[in-house]
Structure 1
Amino acid sequence: MSEVRTGLTVTASDGARLVADLVLPDRLPAPAVVIRTPYGASGCLPEALSLAEAGFACLVQDLRGRHLSEGAFTPGTDETADGHASLDWTAAQPWCDGEVFLYGLAYEAYAAWCAAGHPAVRGIVSRQPWPPIGSPALDEELWWRTDLGTGRTVRTGLYDAALARAPHLTGLIPVAAVAEAWPVDVGPWPATPSTYKSAARRMARAARTATVPSLHLGSWYCRSAPATLRQAMLAPRAEAVVGGWASALTHRLQPECALPEPAGPHPFALALEWLGGFRRNGCLLLGTGRWTDTDPIPPGRPGWTALPLGANGMRLRHDPAAPYPSAPHSADLAPLTDRDDVVRLPLDGPLHWHGTPRLTAEVTTDTGTELVATLVHEQPDGTATRMADGTAPLATGTSRCEVRLAPAAAELPPGHRLHLELTAGRTPRHPAPQRRAELSFRDVTLHLPRPRKGVFA
């Protein structure tokens, strides 16, 4: 039977005490799995018990300034020095055989990569990693900072409670004024593509220089997919599995969600198999089938299929009093089809791609704005859900623009359709102009990265 020890302390280089819980297997010494978390050690207990049953000692540590650990928590900092101090301590314990594996979900994955260069590390499991790449989804970013990413403890439900109490705050999410009326200090706001750039570079550098095997687990349903695939493409000994998994730490599946979580192995089950010495290559598809193990990661220089969508002369008219909304995560978008502030372009199938789609177009606008391109998946019953989106800034006048959308592996079954939607912002996910705007389009082309022969099974 597993032994649980609580309240263990590791002293960081500056003297701060970092508090951890430990679950030990029956046979010692054993290899250790270290989870360093800002979300509270108790939340990782089920995983720790499962790891112990599989023969691993599992140390779950509160990060600096979170829950029981001393110091102040600042996202993106301190994880390398504190992580190395923790691994020094772990590898020297009599219950550890000197080999350490790192596991983490969301910010935990970032903390794991920051410590990946420690000599005791033998492997890394990175699940739906933080930080996001590119333009942040402001509603999701504010939720993360409110409920999970600031202060000493998590505050589950505070974001929803704040908006229920003061619904007008929803319209303020894209602007700095929301911080003045928000119930907690969320730091500099609004977030921009450069907010976590240094942290993203640090994680990418760690993946590129890793000398141990790594397993990358991602979800198409949240904004971690680009970071998951980027890490997997950089790491020299990577395996990747990307599916439609839900996680309360990386995205919010509301009751309005029109996408069920697909059947199949839980990502932690895959991590447990991998840590136990099994290997399962490949990436799950949104539609049917799966990627084969012959090419599990999108190619760095793919071939492209260009799909001209016309749209010459098509216009959208944005009204700041009733902007095009970003519905709750994975909600049915079908009710939003009959509007003047969206250009909707159908794509003929069959369609499949493997990687990061991009859009090119000539756009004329009478005000500076952010163009949002959204791929919408329409099922045979008419349910329409967001598959991927991307943004590009537009200056007043006529210009050529390119929008890079989130990566995906998609093979739409017969009867399923795809639409490209173009909007001026998508409140509150992406900021919209505060004045009326008119956009017109020419030469709209969607470029889909072609899968290599044999990728789809």
Structure 2
Amino acid sequence: MSMVIEENIMVPMRDGVKLATDVYRPAQQGQWPVLVTRLPYNKDRRFPFEYPPFTKEKRIFLELNFDSARVVEAGYVIVAQDTRGRFASEGEFEPFVHEVEDGADAITWAASQPWSSGQVGMFGVSYQGLTQWEAAREQSAALRAIAPSQSPGWHVYPYQGGAFLLGVALGWATGVAMDEVQRWVGQGRATRAELEEMMQASGDLPALFRRLPLVDMPLLQGRAPYYFDWLSHPTLDEYWRTLIQEEFYEQVTVPALTIAGWYDHFQREDLEHYQSMKQRGGSALARSLQHLVIGPWSHGNFLRGFRERTYGAASFARDLLTDLHLRWFDHWLKGIENGVEQEKPVRIFVMGTNVWREEEDWPLPDTQYRPYYLHSGGHANTATGDGVLSTAQADAEPEDVYRYNPRDSVPTMGGAVNSLGMLDDVGPLDQRQIEAREDVLCYTTLPLERPVEVTGPIELVLHVSSSARDTDFTGKLVDVHPDGRAEILTDGILRARYRQSLSSPVLMEPSQVYELRIDLEATSNVFLTGHRIRLEVSSSNFPRFDRNSNTGGTIASEQEKDFVQAINRVYHSQVNPSHLVLPVIERDW
């Protein structure tokens, strides 16, 4: 089936602002269901490289989600729209502010066109996913289903465990701001010299990550004011409560196919959407027909795999994602009885064995949450230390001690970092370089005599003290291969002042022992026979997270001269039983 492409149709919103919209539709006459995506990243942005089967004529933010030609050939119209104030659209860009109303208006327009059957779905990754959740809140009768992928949902809260997600937040704000300046040059609101300065600075993100204080970012002044708002509100205060609508899930009444990645920085939000919609969705249909797919993917990376590992066809998931979307929308927009409502709602990729598996729910109903206790003779520093991880509880053991120096922080090595444009630094990378540092504690099991599957959310319970009034503690789950390769699976952090609440920080008393509970997010991995399970503990993971200055002060306003070193201790004994809680699945192999 041949395709007609109509570009830059200016679609009016309810306040008169017009948004640039492209339409991809079958050339033959007829009325077709419509798939809408809305994005701030340029609907017309092409692949910057020749990467079979993609050419420079292909639009990135269509092809990231599925094979657009296949979708049109299957009898769908695709509508792609620049969000307000971005690229060819009118208005001013305010992240997340107008997406409810503008999204609903885009749906109404798509449903009313002569080539439309009146049945509308939405799709897309990252901000494209957020625009789906937001538009669904208006409960348009034409919107039948959504398929958000790796999405923050209806808001962005750029903190984890109280630590600022520096790599994601600054990387995103810088990219968006550069696009803004480029747009302003065309409007006569900025000079070519300003654009060149912006491009040069944004081309060296590591230098921007190191810049202090964090609030001293002239590159973003007047171009990304929201970034400074984020830094000004490190606690979960009224600013965030205004943005985080408690009734959000009750407002969404349509089925959702949520697509997540084990190495995606929005994994936590995706899992929350699936679970909360099942409990609180605004209709019986929405509550009973939520589907979840979790693959071995980082953010927006469905096409290229990782530098040090691929997972076969799952790493190059274009055909898989196209099949998933067509099956989902064939049922909800075309009424085809293809078994979507009868199939198991959860599909996960299990790393280690590298297989797809269908499940009844998330977390898996047969999960056994099993504690693995930390042990050592007081020298768990580095992978060659005496740290041990086992199911036996500790007795009387000396604590482990390390010095955290924010001037020499532990560097981020893979994991769930922002992967767009930085694929070499993301995902399942070898951690041996990190584990050679004295400020990284390593606790490792003996080689496994049989496979151990870990699938689900992971929590680290640490009993700690510090010489500082505030410091961070990080945890990382690692699969150690027989050849010594130490592959990151997932990680997390807790800023100690937020140990009781993200909204009410309380500083530590030096040398007092506290229990911290650190969310290490989720994974699905089979530790194979001969492999070992390892836990890393430290106090930094930079620039994935900002550095804690250890002063107890306002971190975003502090300079390097304000940094102090912290002596941090991890206790493991009967009285202070530090342990890692693993979601173990025991089934017949």
Task: Say whether the 8 Å CA contact 1:109–1:127 is kept in structure 2.
Answer: yes
Counterparts in 2 of 1:303-342, with a 5 A limit?
A: 303-311=368-376, 312-327=398-413, 328-330=425-427, 331-342=429-440
Relative to structure 1, the CA distance from residue 164 to residue 308 in structure 2 (aligned partners, 3 Å threshold; closer, same or farther) is same
Aligned residues: 451
Q: Distance in 1 between matches of 2:489 and 2:436?
A: 20
Q: From 289, 293, 297, give the equivalent of 1:245.
A: 297
Give CA-to-partner distance per residue, 1:403-455, whole Å, 9 cap, x none. 0111122222223332111111222222233211111111220112344x76x
1:268 aligns with 2:310: no
Q: Which residue of 1 aligns with 2:48?
A: none
Q: Distance in 2 between matches of 1:351 and 1:299?
A: 15
Counterparts in 2 of 1:270-309, with a 5 A limit?
A: 270-277=324-331, 279=340, 281-288=346-353, 290=355, 292-298=357-363, 303-309=368-374
Q: Which residue of 1 aligns with 2:34?
A: 32
Q: From 532, 537, 542, give the equivalent of 1:417.
A: 532
Task: Say whether the 8 Å CA contact 2:350–2:357 is kept in structure 1.
Answer: no
Task: Say whether the 8 Å CA contact 1:310–1:445 is kept in structure 2.
Answer: no
Shift of 1:147: 1.8
1 or 2, which has the higher helix percentage?
2
Flag as ranges the 4+ runs of structure 1 deviating above 6 A: 157-160, 249-254
Counterparts in 2 of 1:12-411, with a 5 A limit?
A: 12-25=13-26, 26-42=28-44, 43=59, 44-46=61-63, 47-116=67-136, 117-130=139-152, 131=156, 134-135=159-160, 136-148=164-176, 151-152=179-180, 162=201, 168-172=207-211, 175-180=213-218, 185-186=223-224, 187-188=227-228, 190=231, 192=234, 194=236, 197=240, 201-202=244-245, 205-207=247-249, 209-235=251-277, 236=287, 237-248=289-300, 257-260=307-310, 262-264=312-314, 265-266=317-318, 268-269=321-322, 270-277=324-331, 279=340, 281-288=346-353, 290=355, 292-298=357-363, 303-311=368-376, 312-327=398-413, 328-330=425-427, 331-348=429-446, 349=448, 350-367=451-468, 368-394=470-496, 395-397=508-510, 398-411=513-526
Q: Distance in 1 between matches of 2:312 and 2:477?
A: 20
Task: Say whether the 8 Å CA contact 1:66–1:72 is kept in structure 2.
Answer: yes
Q: Distance in 1 between matches of 2:456 and 2:369?
A: 10
SS in 1 for 2:217: helix
Task: Say whether the 8 Å CA contact 2:374–2:578 is kept in structure 1.
Answer: yes
Relative to structure 1, the CA distance from residue 207 to residue 413 in structure 2 (aligned partners, 3 Å threshold; closer, same or farther) is farther
Shift of 1:369: 0.7
Q: Distance in 1 between matches of 2:487 and 2:548?
A: 21
Relative to structure 1, the CA distance from residue 208 to residue 358 in structure 2 (aligned partners, 3 Å threshold; closer, same or farther) is farther
Task: Say whether the 8 Å CA contact 1:222–1:251 is kept in structure 2.
Answer: no
Q: Distance in 1 between matches of 2:276 and 2:121?
A: 19
Shift of 1:388: 1.2
Give CA-to-partner distance per residue, 1:31-62, whole Å, 9 cap, x none. 11001111111234545433211111111011
Task: Say whether the 8 Å CA contact 1:123–1:214 is kept in structure 2.
Answer: yes
Q: Which amino acid aligns with 1:216?
A: T
Task: Say whether the 8 Å CA contact 1:370–1:425 is kept in structure 2.
Answer: yes
Give CA-to-partner distance per residue, 1:121-177, whole Å, 9 cap, x none. 11111111124675153112211221247753899x99995376586543237x424
Shift of 1:220: 0.8
CA RMSD, Structure 1 to Structure 2 (Å): 3.4
Q: Which amino acid aligns with 2:490?
A: A
Q: Which residue of 2 aligns with 1:445?
A: 579
Structure 1 runs not aligned, ≥5 long: none
| TM-score, structure 2 as length reference | 0.69
Q: Distance in 2 between matches of 1:53 and 1:414?
A: 46
Task: Say whether the 8 Å CA contact 1:102–1:125 is kept in structure 2.
Answer: yes
Q: Distance in 1 between matches of 2:204 and 2:368?
A: 50
SS in 2 for 1:94: coil
Give CA-to-partner distance per residue, 1:5-53, whole Å, 9 cap, x none. 1121221121110110001123520111001111111234545433211
Shift of 1:325: 1.4
Larger Rg belongs to: 2
Give CA-to-partner distance per residue, 1:220-270, whole Å, 9 cap, x none. 11212111111111222111111112444799988xx43335423435322
Relative to structure 1, the CA distance from residue 129 to residue 347 in structure 2 (aligned partners, 3 Å threshold; closer, same or farther) is farther
Give CA-to-partner distance per residue, 1:63-109, whole Å, 9 cap, x none. 00111111111222110111111111111111111110011110000
Task: Say whether the 8 Å CA contact 2:262–2:298 is kept in structure 1.
Answer: no
SS in 2 for 1:115: helix
SS in 2 for 1:275: helix
